[in-house]
Amino acid sequence: MGRLEGKVAIVTGAASGLGAADARLMAAEGAKIVLTDVNAELGERTAAEIDGAIFVKHDVRSEADWRNVLDKTLTHFGRLDVLVNNAGLVQFGTVEDTTLEQFRLHNAVMSEGTFLGCKYAIPVMAKTGGGSIINVSSIAAIRGNSPVLAYTAAKGAILSMTRSIALHCQEKNYRIRCNCILPGAHATPMTAAAIAALGGAAAGIEQIQQHGQGRPEDVGNLVVFLASDESRYITGAEIVIDNGETSR
């Protein structure tokens, strides 16, 4: 049997990049996957490549969409064991350049989207005996990166929120773990766009040039571990996966 046999997982932002890798690797270990994304065309194609997976169009900023995702998950699979809050975006701007609208957009998608996912998933998981929530932050949450002010703020909120959610679930005896992954540079469409837009002088680009990028599967393997019962004693943790970038 696979490491995730019998488990049902929702992965947001799963049409491509890290989310798609998470979905594929969890499915390979036996999980049933609900992929969600705002990009319905790409999301449907990705889901079609994963045996038994379904796709639901989903704007993580919307409470109604979150209710719909949970309803479809329960209707189709009857339970929920794993939530991967992966959906995100990045637009470039320093504290002086970033507009209020840009700042609010980043926080609506990543901070509020993660909050809503946890808020609606926790009661469902609690009814079926517990589960694992995996929030995807970034090393931008723990180091400065001036060209992406709004992104760093939203990712920092995810990191802080994770700790409080983990403690809440323990206090309620829900048997739900909540952990946070902080990736560095990985070869995804978002990273490629950032390299093209920022150029060689930006923070983090030198790291990529000297030490390369991780593969989406590197993060996906960590997601599989945190989703599995192998990580049953890990909650409230922040796990950096950046090839030593934050140590340099």
Residue-by-residue pLDDT tens, the chain, 248 positions: 699 999 999 999 999 999 999 999 999 999 999 999 999 999 999 999 999 999 999 999 999 999 999 999 999 999 999 999 999 999 999 999 999 999 999 999 999 999 999 999 999 999 999 999 999 999 999 988 889 999 999 999 999 999 999 999 999 999 999 999 999 875 566 665 565 565 655 555 555 545 567 788 999 999 999 999 999 999 999 999 988 888 87
Those residues whose C-beta lies under 8 Å from the C-beta of residue 107, and which sit 6 or more positions away, are 150, 153, 154, 157
Q: How many CA atoms lie within 13 A of 199 on its CB side?
A: 2
Options 120, 151, 174, 233, the catalytic residue:
151
Annotation marks residue 120 as catalytic = no
Q: How many CA atoms lie within 13 A of 155 on its CB side?
A: 24
Q: How far apart are CA 204 and CA 88, in angstroms?
A: 19
Helix (H) or strand (E) holding 183: strand 176-183
Local structure of residue 109 (DSSP, 8 states) = I
- Please indicate, yes or no, whether the overall pTM of this predicted structure exceeds 0.85: yes
Q: How far from chain centre, in Å, is Cα 28?
A: 18
